[in-house]
Amino acid sequence: MAEPRNLSRRVFLARIGVLGAALGGGGLLTRGLLNPADAATNPLLPPAVDLVRPVLAALARDTLNGLTAFALPGPDQYSRTQRASSSTPGALDAGATDFMINALDNFVPFPDALAQPISAALVTGLADSGVNLPGLEVLPAELRSLDQAFAAVLQSDEAIPLSFPIAGLLNLMATQVNPAAVNGPHLSPFARLTYAEKARAFELIEKTDSDLVALLDVQFPEPLKASVSGLLKFVGGALIEFATFGAYSEYGVLDRSTKTLRRRPVGWTLTGYQPDGPVEGWDDFIGYYQGRKEVHD
Amino acid sequence: MRDVIVIGAGGGGPVVAKELAAKGLDVLLLEAGPRHAKPREEWSTFEEDANNPLTGYFRLGPTDRSKPAWYREWPQNSFVWQLSGVGGTTQHFYGNYPRAYPGVFAGYEGADRNEYDVNHRFPFSYGEMVPYFEWVEAIMPVQTAAMGTKEQLFFKGAETMGLPVQTTKTTVKASYRPQENAILQPGGTAGRTADKNLLNYPQATGCTFCGYCFQGCMRPKGAPRNQYAKRSTDNSYVPMALTAEVWSRGGKPAELIADAYVTRVHTETRQGVLTASGVTWRDNVTGDEHREDARVVVMSGGCTENPRLWFNSGLPNPNGWVGRGYTDHFFDWMIGSFDDYTGNPKGVGSSARLDYPPYGGLENVGLPPALNAFAGTLSDSGIRGQYKNGRGQTGPWDGPAGRVMGPELKELVAGGIDKLLTVLVITDDDVEAQNRVTTSALPADENGPIPKVTFQQRKRTKRTLKNREFMARKAAELLRGAGAKKVYRIDWAPLILHVQSSMRMGASEHNSVLDPTGETRAVKGLFVADNSALSNGLGGPNPTLTSQALATRTAENIFTKYFGGDPWVRTSAPVVSTDPRISVRLGELGL
């Protein structure tokens, strides 16, 4: 009775985006690469695990492009897809996606001992959602190979880039909001949503009694279980706040070695901040309110 | 064997170190994070460089910025803005030094005496605190804030509210005023020119109105460290502690070690009494552990780290109050949009305030673009126009409360960030056992099990929730009075930035960690001296002055009880932290 299991696996992988990113129309892997028969006979092909890593990275970047365009829309394709674009520069022009990936993968001091099971929960969880996903036909053999590759990535000693489970979370919620998001432009379901749908996805993440929390918690033993519930509530808020901070910050144009700006930051242009660059002071001293320079009891 | 080991060189620890170094004690001051000894080389004016909580120079982490920050568990949508490093959170603060409201102290007899957090008052009177307030105010020094455009606008709004102007240090009723702050008043060219060439010390003295308080104060350019405008402890108390021999007769300079993470407080039983005996710290760079003994140990690691250190040291917690009663002023954020220039990102971050005992208060806060964006999107009420997350309060602001983000935020700032006036809503919040620090079940870091900070923001006491709504309405009233065309309420998720009372001092042994002298009830020779020692949220005033006044009082108690000395605050005059003898000695030390 492998077929129902394969079906639900297919649905789940599609919902977190990896199936489409790997094998869907415009996917990053040719199906032959995951064909076990080819892999067995062609020693020149890299192992599936090496093929999957860049797929996960590309999927994460695409998903986060969808997030940063949500935080600060601009004239880019992601903003147009969400049907909230703008003629002035936005998050993608500001390098906010790189800001998010760099932060998540290199600086969020998130314990791998937790990232690993969350990632595992996201790829091994069974989605019995009753959501019909159109247009993805995957052969059981390909699915099995993909699964094995994920398992290998998750079990390797290398830290899981945090951007991957974050992208998985956003994509899972995206397909909850709009099942048709498994197909379309871009690589990730989240990036295919409209602005209102993205907001709806965050509403689901922020909701205190989120089904998602229950779904993921199932994978954790106590006392970690309670921690994961709380963590997801934190993550829902933090993704919005940090994407917005990054979009308006100097991240994309700051030369860290000289502590100077290569160009005027997008956030400064949009807000009119520091028209002549950094200052030592301003001529904004008016005086003392009612002329009072000191007070005493 | 030291006389005193102080754990943490933030807002509180350096006060004890400085006061006891002045008395000639052998003081070791340990700081878990970096020491920014050369800010002109290490800092900049950029939000990404300074304030990125993961990679910025103002973060919670070791000196080496290529290493990750220290992870803390927050099991709710919230942001706990901890900083490591000499100066702690005073490195990014705005230097506001209001006194706690008298109503939060024992013996208060005002007509509104029943309207405060009556079960968690300070165990002594306001009158007893006054000499310590005055002592700290003279040292910093605390002065009346200079006014810029955004303050003028704030006052314009306040003038429409039928409230008097406060012209005293003590707040006795609802009123507004310029901040009393620890920012040196502008002198010479400071505040009068934007020409870089004219803003060098001593041509310019005091605050240059640069607007970079949150990125660290290193101005005027060329000034000695102890004469930078903002009196963060790295510019005031720490320089005094390190130079005690030149300004205090019989003084002995304290020793400061940075990147020294204290992982354990040691105890021994002396004549049947559990007594602190020393500490172990870990060197962030080498990973080596060091142990040193002392007659007295002072915990000053802050509201989140002190409970963690307590738990990780296996110290007794008989009434369960270690880490409990955490107060945060349950902030909210209100943005006013104006047709005209507001001066928003210029000058001291916050130089005007409105006090409203026993509800809380308001203050203006100017922010640069990325922090402004962060502040507009931290909400417990969803996204305006999209969803409300079960909240989205309505009132005298425009539309429901919630995040101003995406297209709406872009449109809001398109007129210029200097056409906004933003107001911090400060709540007089109750001490509640449920808001607390525990040890996280998540994996430990290199310094041991990590702290978990839990705030049940939706389940706070009726009084706390009522006070917040009251002050939010007052903020909207003020912004309308100032001429705001639109007013946005964000309904902040907990932004834990004013932190108090997680190791609280109290009269009752049933709900306090510290006795009225500042010594822990469970371990003798162990004191707590920082915001966590405060008995409550002070009624809403920014906590630094009260915390430092209390730390001064605790230093006196340490000196009299353990070193046979006499108290000094009522009998001597303090030396101001800008004293030129300190500047000269800092120069000799290459600081």
- Kindly write down the DSSP assignment for every residue of A238-294, as one continuous string: HHHHHHHHHHHSSGGGEETTTTEESS--HHHHHHT--TTS--S--S---B-GGG---
Cα–Cα distance measured from residue B13 to residue B30, given in angstroms and rounded to the nearest whole number:
9
Cα–Cα distance measured from residue A184 to residue A177, given in angstroms and rounded to the nearest whole number:
15
Residue A290 near chain B (CB below 8 Å): yes
Better-predicted residue by pLDDT, B411 or A112: B411
The confidence band for B442, taking pLDDT boundaries of 50, 70 and 90, is: confident
Element counts in chain A: helices (H) and strands (E): 15, 2
Query: What pLDDT, on the 0 to 100 scale, is given for residue A157?
Result: 67
Chain A residues closer than 8 Å to B382 by CB: 199, 202-203, 206
Cα–Cα distance measured from residue B288 to residue B290, given in angstroms and rounded to the nearest whole number:
7
- Most A CBs within 10 A among B335, B337, B387, B492, hence the mutation to make, goes to B387
Angle formed at CA B91 by CA B90 and CA B92, multiple of 5 degrees: 90
CB contact under 8 A, A103 and B417: no
Phi and psi at B426, nearest 5°, equal -110, 125
Contact B402, B381 (CB under 8 A): yes
In the chain, the amino acid numbered B576 is V
Chain A residues closer than 8 Å to B407 by CB: 73, 84, 86, 195
Query: What pLDDT, on the 0 to 100 scale, is given for residue A128?
Result: 42
Domain of residue A87 covers 2-244
For B311-367, the pLDDT digits (tens) are: 999 999 999 999 999 999 999 999 999 999 999 999 999 999 999 999 999 999 999
Q: Let me know if residue A109 belongs to a domain.
A: yes
Cα–Cα distance measured from residue B231 to residue B225, given in angstroms and rounded to the nearest whole number:
10
Residue A209 near chain B (CB below 8 Å): no
Shortest Cα–Cα distance, B343 to chain A (Å): 8
Locate A158 and state its tokens: 């290398």
Residue A254 near chain B (CB below 8 Å): yes
Locate B370 and state its tokens: 């990325």
What's the number of CA atoms in the CB half-sphere (13 Å) around residue A123? 25
Asked if the model's pLDDT at residue B374 lies above 80, the reply is yes
Could you tell me the domains of chain B? Answer: 2-39+67-183+230-255+325-588 (3.50.50)
Instruction: Give the residue from A82, A71, A202 showing the smallest Cα distance to B389.
Output: A202
Cis peptide before A111 (omega within 30 of 0): no
Locate B495 and state its tokens: 């932004």
Cα–Cα distance measured from residue B478 to residue B163, given in angstroms and rounded to the nearest whole number:
11
- Most A CBs within 10 A among B171, B179, B410, hence the mutation to make, goes to B410
Mean pLDDT, residues B173-178 taken together: 98
Candidate from A207, A227, A278 with C-beta closest to B45: A278
Query: What pLDDT, on the 0 to 100 scale, is given for residue A241?
Result: 96
In the chain, the amino acid numbered B53 is P
Instruction: Give the residue from B313, B322, B317 showing the smallest Cα distance to B266.
Output: B313
Q: Let me know if residue A226 belongs to a domain.
A: yes
Chain A residues closer than 8 Å to B78 by CB: 234, 237
Cα-Cα-Cα-Cα torsion B172, B176, B182, B186, nearest 10 degrees, comes to -140
Task: Let me know if B561 is exposed, middle or buried by CB neighbors in 10 A (0-12, 13-18, 19+).
Answer: middle
Residues 6+ apart with CB under 8 A from B243: B253, B581, B582, B585, B586, B589
Q: Let me know if residue A290 belongs to a domain.
A: no
Candidate from A246, A279, A285 with C-beta closest to B186: A285
Asked if the model's pLDDT at residue B232 lies above 80, the reply is yes
Q: Let me know if residue A197 belongs to a domain.
A: yes
- Most B CBs within 10 A among A116, A210, A220, A245, hence the mutation to make, goes to A245
Q: Which DSSP state fits A104?
A: I
Contact B333, B130 (CB under 8 A): no
Locate A254 and state its tokens: 């700051």
Counting residues of chain A whose pLDDT is more than 90, the rounded percentage is 43
Cα–Cα distance measured from residue A187 to residue A34, given in angstroms and rounded to the nearest whole number:
19
Distances (CA, A) of A142 to A43, A48, A53, A56, A127: 18, 11, 16, 17, 19
* R_g of chain A computed on alpha carbons: 23
Q: Let me know if residue A251 belongs to a domain.
A: no
Residue B370 near chain A (CB below 8 Å): yes
CB contact under 8 A, B143 and A280: no
CB contact under 8 A, B44 and A248: no
Query: What pLDDT, on the 0 to 100 scale, is given for residue A14?
Result: 75
Cα–Cα distance measured from residue B374 to residue A219, given in angstroms and rounded to the nearest whole number:
33
Query: What pLDDT, on the 0 to 100 scale, is given for residue A223?
Result: 58
CB contact under 8 A, B386 and A203: yes
Q: Which residue of B has its CA nearest to A259?
A: B44
Q: Which DSSP state fits B361?
A: E
CB contact under 8 A, B386 and A281: no
Q: At what angle do helices A163-177 and A195-206 cross, to 10 degrees?
A: 110
Spell A144-178 as b/e; 16+ CB within 10 A means b: bbbbbbbeebbeeeeebbbbbbbbbbbbbbbbbbb
Residue B372 near chain A (CB below 8 Å): yes
Residue A275 near chain B (CB below 8 Å): no
Distances (CA, A) of A167 to A62, A119, A238, B453: 9, 10, 14, 26
Instruction: Tell me the residues of chain B between 483 and 502 that have a Cβ less than 8 Å away from chain A.
Output: 493
Cα–Cα distance measured from residue A189 to residue A179, given in angstroms and rounded to the nearest whole number:
9
Chain centroid to Cα B420, Å, comes to 25
Query: What pLDDT, on the 0 to 100 scale, is given for residue A23?
Result: 72
Query: What pLDDT, on the 0 to 100 scale, is given for residue A45?
Result: 54
Shortest Cα–Cα distance, A110 to chain B (Å): 6
Query: What pLDDT, on the 0 to 100 scale, is given for residue A127?
Result: 42
Query: What pLDDT, on the 0 to 100 scale, is given for residue A175?
Result: 87
Phi and psi at A287, nearest 5°, equal 145, -155
CB contact under 8 A, A279 and B417: no
Residue B140 near chain A (CB below 8 Å): no
Residue A204 near chain B (CB below 8 Å): no
Cα–Cα distance measured from residue A219 to residue B353, given in angstroms and rounded to the nearest whole number:
50
Better-predicted residue by pLDDT, B75 or B529: B529
For A114-164, the pLDDT digits (tens) are: 676 667 666 655 444 444 454 455 556 666 677 677 777 766 667 778 898
Q: Let me know if residue A96 belongs to a domain.
A: yes
The confidence band for A206, taking pLDDT boundaries of 50, 70 and 90, is: confident
In the chain, the amino acid numbered B408 is E
CB-defined contacts A:B, below 8 A? 271
Distances (CA, A) of B60 to B56, B86, B89, B344: 9, 12, 10, 28
Locate A212 and state its tokens: 């998602």
CB contact under 8 A, A272 and B368: no
The confidence band for A31, taking pLDDT boundaries of 50, 70 and 90, is: low
What's the number of CA atoms in the CB half-sphere (13 Å) around residue A122? 28
Residue A203 near chain B (CB below 8 Å): yes
Candidate from B73, B144, B146 with C-beta closest to A285: B146
Query: What pLDDT, on the 0 to 100 scale, is given for residue B443?
Result: 82
Asked if the model's pLDDT at residue A3 lies above 50, the reply is no
Contact B462, B296 (CB under 8 A): no
* R_g of chain B computed on alpha carbons: 22
Cα–Cα distance measured from residue B301 to residue B234, given in angstroms and rounded to the nearest whole number:
15
- Most B CBs within 10 A among A282, A296, A297, hence the mutation to make, goes to A282
Q: Let me know if residue A286 belongs to a domain.
A: no
Instruction: Name the domain count of chain A.
Output: 1
Q: Let me know if residue A72 belongs to a domain.
A: yes
Cα–Cα distance measured from residue B298 to residue B137, given in angstroms and rounded to the nearest whole number:
23
- Local structure of A43: helix, strand or coil: coil
Asked if the model's pLDDT at residue A48 lies above 90, the reply is no
Mean pLDDT, residues A215-225 taken together: 56
Chain B residues closer than 8 Å to A259 by CB: 44, 46, 49
Cα–Cα distance measured from residue A230 to residue B440, given in angstroms and rounded to the nearest whole number:
12
Distances (CA, A) of A106 to A111, B64, B173, B207, B419: 12, 14, 50, 37, 37
Mean pLDDT, residues B179-205 taken together: 98
Better-predicted residue by pLDDT, A209 or B484: B484
Cα–Cα distance measured from residue A281 to residue A283, given in angstroms and rounded to the nearest whole number:
7
Instruction: Tell me the residues of chain B between 340 and 369 that have a Cβ less than 8 Å away from chain A.
Output: 343, 345-347, 352, 368-369
Locate B267 and state its tokens: 């105890």
The confidence band for A165, taking pLDDT boundaries of 50, 70 and 90, is: confident
Locate A47 and state its tokens: 């192992």
Q: Where are the beta strands (DSSP E) in chain A?
A: 254-255, 260-261
Locate B441 and state its tokens: 């079940």
Residue A286 near chain B (CB below 8 Å): yes
Residue A264 near chain B (CB below 8 Å): no
Instruction: Give the residue from B419, B174, B463, B53 showing the smallest Cα distance to A242.
Output: B53
Q: Which residue of A has its CA nearest to B342?
A: A284
Instruction: Tell me the residues of chain A between 72 and 111 that have a Cβ less than 8 Å away from chain B.
Output: 72-73, 84, 86, 88, 90, 103, 106-111
CB contact under 8 A, B209 and A261: no
The confidence band for A169, taking pLDDT boundaries of 50, 70 and 90, is: confident
Query: What pLDDT, on the 0 to 100 scale, is given for residue A234?
Result: 84
The confidence band for A225, taking pLDDT boundaries of 50, 70 and 90, is: low
Residue B119 near chain A (CB below 8 Å): no
The mean of the pLDDT values for chain B is 97
Query: What pLDDT, on the 0 to 100 scale, is given for residue B174?
Result: 98
For B103-114, the pLDDT digits (tens) are: 999 999 999 999
Locate B106 and state its tokens: 């024992």
Chain B residues closer than 8 Å to A203 by CB: 382, 386-387, 389
Shortest Cα–Cα distance, B274 to chain A (Å): 32
Contact B281, B263 (CB under 8 A): yes
The confidence band for A218, taking pLDDT boundaries of 50, 70 and 90, is: very low
Q: What are the beta bridge partners of residue B276?
A: B267
Chain A residues closer than 8 Å to B221 by CB: 280
